[in-house]
Chains A and B, each alone.
Chain A
Amino acid sequence: MKYKSQKIAYQFFLLAMLLFVLQIIYGFIMGFAHMGYDVLHDFIPFNTAVTTHKNLLVVWILAGFMGSAYYIIPDESGQELWSVPLAKLQFWSFAIVGVVAVAGFHVGWWEGRKFLEIPRPLDYLVAGNVILFLVIILMTLLKGKQTTTSWVLTMGLVFAALLYLPGMIYFDNIAVDSFFRWWVVHLWVEGVWELIMGGILAYLLIKLTGVDREVIEKWLYVVVGLTFISGILGTGHHYYYTGGPSYWLMIGGIFSALEPLAFLAMTIFAIQMYRKGNKKHPNKLALYWTLSTAIVSFLGAGLLGLAHTLPGVNLYTHGTLVTAMHGHLAFWGAYASLILAIISYSMPLMTGRNIFDNRIGHLAFWCSNIGMIAMTAAFAAAGVAQVYLERIAGYDFMTTAIEIQPHFFVLIVAATLFTTGIVLFIINFFKFGKPTDEALQTEEAFEALKTV
């Protein structure tokens, strides 16, 4: 850690970890409900659980992005954060809005719009909070050294904020509402969030492999270029069957089929940089998480997305558990693992405690990744069985739901392994202790590892 103000990242990472645990608990509630044990129905009905599960995901990933930016931007721009008191204010307001939103879901204070359930008054507070965050980041960036990595990361954050706005407009026609909802959700996760992902990944690769910044940033441009070229018109796969004109079937089909290329490029980019760089950096756990982000995001977001994105297939898989299969591995690979990578990298530098390569850390890595892949397989089995029974053979919804219940038992077993991994990761997180100014300049020891 070079600057004292980078320590603010810790608070965001801590919040992210707590919300992640809560998200997993709600996931179990839903898994048991699908198995036929909806025992909490009177207190936490399924629609409350699903809304809480999804929004906790969004909030903890955003907390992770914000923490990452607070850690990376001062380092990249070569100076302290513009205002630490304002950053603390931004943290507490973000945490309070997040907690109020989640509590509100339990008393029916929501908008029933998938992923955008936060009610309108809180939307304004979210917008205000994000503006404050962006002001702090931009002021730091503009006053200091400007690198491609920091600009790509910041642009991702700015456009993520701007894209939230179309989701705040009310429409009487649910098809129009859905159209704009995907402007937010798709252009986030398959657009500007990938800018953020690319920026964080590039930063980690520069630090961990020692490869020349110019080389990494050149390929960063190519990767994010491919992301937008395929991803923007790839939004069309959400418009096949939601009231849009039929030309989206062709346009969405072609560009969605190209979307895995961006993730493949991200994977090749990370692996090539790893192979090109030296292997001396002691933080093996950060390297594992960085490479797994690149690889698993390709599997989850790229390949499993491709598996059901073509219109002829999607006609039958749309609105089934096949989507949950793709969604879980995609979010895990692309965004959750990325946050765990930056935490694994930055915590030793913020605290001065060199937990780089311990047994718990490796167990956490393997249990969570194997657990999530097994969960994806369980969702796949349930989803494909649902498609054949309900959509192809014509059985009614509940007949199908009862037939596929055993797959949710497998899901819960797999989720238990996944949860074990996450708990181990969090144990490691707490073993680091809190950040300290004594950890300043710890990074210097690794500067000599640069290959160029």
Chain B
Amino acid sequence: MLSKKQAKIFFLGGTILFMLIFIGMSVHSLMVGIPENTNDSEIDDQVKLGKLIWEEQNCMGCHTIMGEGAYYAPELTRVYSRRGETYIHAVLTAPEGWGFRGRRMVKYDFTEEEVAGLIAFLKWMDKTELNGFPAAPSLPPPSPAH
């Protein structure tokens, strides 16, 4: 029968072993994997500004990006290629705040520089490699007859 001492060794040994493996994998991810997948070298001042505004305005409090956020507004990882720059600009500068089919976005008073920063951030995000996320719909579009 397992003794208390053996149980303690199981806890401490297992924790230390798997923590070391996790730290090793994390170092590799941070040094190699994430910079490659996210084109880290392409993060310029505009992208940095966009990311800062993204956080200051808590966009994640409604939207999701890389699938992370609050599920109340659309997923934005590939919004740049899905909607295009003109549409995004219109959303961000809507005088009364953007609204779509009854759901309202907070009204913002962004400067043109800030809008450009957010667009640059979303353009950078659009090119990230996220292991296949978001996946393309697996069903074909519904036919007009239905």
Which positions in A face B, CB cutoff 8 Å?
30, 33-34, 36, 38, 41, 45-48, 50-51, 108, 110-114, 117, 148, 172-176, 178-179, 183, 214, 217-219, 221-222, 224-226, 228-229, 232-233, 235-236, 239-249, 251, 315-316, 318-321, 323-324, 386, 391-394, 396-398, 401-402
Contact = CB atoms under 8 A, between A and B. Distances in A.
Interface of B: 2-4, 7-8, 10-11, 14-15, 18-19, 21-22, 25-26, 28-30, 32-35, 37-38, 40, 43, 47-48, 51, 54-62, 64-75, 100-104, 106, 125, 128-139, 141-142
Given A50-B62, A112-B57, A315 B133 contact: yes
24 contacts: A45-B106, A46-B70, A47-B57, A47-B61, A112-B54, A112-B55, A112-B61, A175-B66, A183-B26, A217-B4, A218-B3, A218-B7, A219-B7, A221-B10, A224-B11, A225-B10, A243-B37, A243-B38, A243-B128, A246-B131, A319-B68, A319-B71, A323-B71, A393-B142
Contacts of A114: 60, 68-70
A391 B137 contact: yes
Contact of A233 (B8, B18, B28, B128): B18
Contact of B43 (A173, A244, A245, A318): A173
B43 A50 contact: no
If over half of A's interface residues share one DSSP class (helix, strand or loop), that class is named, otherwise mixed; here it is helix
A204 to B, nearest CB: 19
Contacts of B34: 173, 175-176, 179, 243-245
A225 B7 CA distance: 8
A232 B7 contact: no
A221 B10 CA distance: 8
A111 to B, nearest CB: 5
Contacts of B38: 173, 175, 243
Given A114-B69, A402-B102, 15 more contacts: A45-B106, A51-B61, A108-B56, A112-B61, A113-B60, A117-B61, A175-B34, A218-B4, A245-B29, A245-B37, A318-B67, A318-B133, A386-B71, A391-B134, A394-B137
Contacts of B30: 176, 179
Contacts, number: 209
Main secondary structure of the interface of B (DSSP, over half): mixed
A214 B26 CA distance: 37
Contact of B22 (A34, A48, A225, A235): A235
Task: Count chain A CB atoms within 10 A of each CB in B4, B19, B47 and give the residue with the most.
Answer: B4
Nearest to B135: A315
Nearest to B53: A112
B104 to A, nearest CB: 5
